[in-house]
Amino acid sequence: PVTAGSIVVPYGHVIGNEKWRGSEIAQRLQGKVRLIFEDGLGLVDFHLSNRTCILLISEADLVAGDEFKRRLVRFRNASSLRGIVIVEKTQISEQYYSGVQKLVVLELGMVLLPVANQGEASQLIIQLVSFCVREQSRDRGANPFLRRQRAPPAEPAVLQAVQHIPGVGKTKALLLLQHFGSIHRLCNASVSELEQVVGQTVAQQIYTF
Amino acid sequence: PGEHSPSLAGISRVPVPPSSSPCILADSREISSGPGVISCLRAVHGLPVQVCPLGSSDYIVSSRLAVDRVFQSELQSPGNRNKLSQRLQRLQGVFERICVIVETDRVRPGETSRFFQRTQHYDGVLSALVQAGIRILFSSCQEETAALLKELALLELRKDAALQVPTEPQGQRRHVLNFYLSVPSLSYGAALSLCHSFGSIAAVANSSVPALAAGARLSRPQAEELHRFLRHDFDLQLLPQPLPAQGK
C-alpha cells in the first residue's frame, strides 16, 4: 500500500519501518538516534522529519529487476515528502548505478546517495538526521552551503562596471558617478553633459559605447 | 561503464530533434583539469561546447543551471570545506539551480587502486548539500561526467531553459560583454544573452524589469536585481575605505 500521508516525527527522532527491526542498520542507528519502529509506513523505510524520508534500495533490489523502480515512481506520484533514496552500490550492483541515477535524479527529481553497505547507510542517516534537526531548530546558519541573504553594498561593483567603458579608469569613473549618480543616468547623458565632466574625446567614447 | 539510455520504467522521453542540440559553456580551467569531459562532449555526444573564462562554475548547461565538478577526495577531508562552500554560495547568488557532480578520483599510473574510506565529514558534506537543495550526481570517470552533463543539458532544453547558441562577441562588443560580466548577479550566459538581445547598454538601462527578464532570459528576481543595480545611486561614502590601493 502507498502511504503518502504525513507522519508526525517527534523532534530528534527517526521512525523506521517495522521490517528493519533487528537489522544491521537498525542496530547501528540505535544509541545514536532515537529510533521508533512503526508498522504500515508503506513505501518509506525511514522518516527523518515531517518533511524528509528515506527509501533504501539494497544490492538485491538492484539485481532483482525493475520492482524498485515501480516503488520509486509510486512514491513520487503519491507523496509530497522530500524523498532521499539511498542505494547500495557494491561491486555487483555498480553496473546498474548510472541507470538508477538517471531515473531518480534526472527524471524523478529526487536525491540519490550511494553507500557501500548497511553500515555506511546508517552513518549517512545519522548525518542526515543531524541536519534535519538543525533545520527544524532554525539553526540554518550551520549549513555552509546555504547562501547568506545579506547583499554586499553595490558601490564597489558599480565603480568596477563603469571602468569597463573604454577610456574610463578609476579616477574618471569616480568623477562620472559623483556627477551622474547611477549607470542609468550616465547612459542617458548627452555628449555635452559628459564633456562637463571629462574631456571631449572620452565624452564621445562614452557616448558611443 | 555507463549504460546509455535504457528504457526506464516507462517514463516517456520526448525525443529531441537533432537540430536543437543544447550548447554547454565550459570554464577555461577545465581544459587542463577535465580534458576528457570536454572532448567527450564534443566527439561522442556532438554538443557544441564553448570554452570561456567563467570563473564561477565549471560548466553552465542552461540559462539557470550551473554544474560544478568535484573529486570525491575533495569531499573527504575538512580542509576543502571552506573553499567549496564559498564557491557554492557565490553560485547560489547567480544561478537558480546548482548541481554538483562528484567524480571518482583517477587512479594514476603506477598507483594501486586507492581504497575509498568514507569519512563522517564526507557524509556531513553530502547532508549539507542535500539540505541546501543542491543536486548531487555521482560519476566514475570523465566520460561519465560528460554523459551526465549532456543529460542535464537535454533536460533543461525540454524545460525550455537551454542556452541559445552563444557566440563570443568580438571587438567593441567584447567591452560590452565585460561590462555586463562585472554586474555581480549576472552569470556568463546571462551576460551573453544581454549582448545578443539588446543593441546597447543604454537600451538595457532604459528597459523595464519584465523586458529585461524576457529579453535576456533572466528570472524575475535576477532582472529586478539588474534593474536595481543600473539605477543604484552611487554614494562615495559607502566605498570600502582603503580606496587608492584598490583596483590597480
ipTM for this model: 0.81
Confidence tier at A151 by pLDDT (50, 70, 90): low
> What average pLDDT does this structure show over A103-123?
91
The ranges assigned to domains in chain A are 13-137, 154-208
Are the Cβ atoms of A127 and B120 closer than 8 angstroms?
yes
* DSSP state letter for A33: B
The confidence score (pLDDT) of residue B6 equals 44
> What average pLDDT does this structure show over B208-236?
82
Q: What is the pLDDT of residues B72-125, one digit of tens each?
A: 888 888 888 788 888 888 888 888 899 999 998 877 666 665 567 788 889 989
The C-alpha of B141 sits at a distance from chain A's nearest C-alpha, in angstroms, of 12
Report which of A142, A190, A182, A161 is spatially closest to residue B183, judged by C-alpha positions.
Answer: A161
CATH topology of domain A13-137: Rossmann fold (3.40.50)
Report which of A145, A147, A128 is spatially closest to residue A136, judged by C-alpha positions.
Answer: A128
Report which of A134, A100, A131, A122 is spatially closest to residue A46, judged by C-alpha positions.
Answer: A122
The C-alpha of A134 sits at a distance from chain B's nearest C-alpha, in angstroms, of 10
Are the Cβ atoms of A106 and B232 closer than 8 angstroms?
no
What SS3 state is found at A51? coil
The confidence score (pLDDT) of residue A5 equals 52
Which cell goes with B101? 557532480
The confidence score (pLDDT) of residue B150 equals 92
pLDDT at A185 over 70: yes
The confidence score (pLDDT) of residue B37 equals 92
> What average pLDDT does this structure show over B143-166?
85
Confidence tier at A104 by pLDDT (50, 70, 90): very high
In this prediction, what percent of chain A has a pLDDT beyond 70? 88
Give me the helices (H) in B95-231, please: 120-131, 142-158, 172-181, 188-197, 201-205, 209-215, 220-230
Q: What is the pLDDT of residues B188-220, one digit of tens each?
A: 888 888 888 887 788 888 888 888 888 777 888
Of residues B128, B135, B230, nearest to A184 (C-beta): B230
What SS3 state is found at A202? helix
pLDDT at A90 over 60: yes
More reliable by pLDDT, B110 or A125: A125
pLDDT at B245 over 60: no
Mutation target for B interface from A76, A102, A204: give the one with most B CBs within 10 A: A102
The answer to which of A136-150, B111-125, B132-146, B203-217 has the lowest mean pLDDT is: A136-150
The answer to which of A149-153, B57-61, B194-198 has the lowest mean pLDDT is: A149-153
Average pLDDT in chain B: 80
> What average pLDDT does this structure show over A188-205?
82
The confidence score (pLDDT) of residue B9 equals 42
- A154-208 is classed in which CATH architecture? Orthogonal Bundle (1.10)
Give me the helices (H) in chain B, please: 30-33, 35-43, 72-76, 81-94, 120-131, 142-158, 172-181, 188-197, 201-205, 209-215, 220-230
Distance CA A146, CA A160 (A): 27
pLDDT at B69 over 90: yes
Are the Cβ atoms of A103 and B8 closer than 8 angstroms?
yes
pLDDT at A60 over 60: yes
The confidence score (pLDDT) of residue A141 equals 57
More reliable by pLDDT, A208 or A72: A72
Confidence tier at B16 by pLDDT (50, 70, 90): very low
Angle between helices B35-43 and B142-158 (to 10 degrees): 50
The confidence score (pLDDT) of residue A64 equals 86
pLDDT at B19 over 60: no
Are the Cβ atoms of B127 and A127 closer than 8 angstroms?
yes
Whether B67 contacts B59, CB under 8 Å: yes
The C-alpha of A93 sits at a distance from chain B's nearest C-alpha, in angstroms, of 12
Which cell goes with A38? 512503526
Do the domains at A13-137 and A154-208 have one common CATH topology?
Answer: no
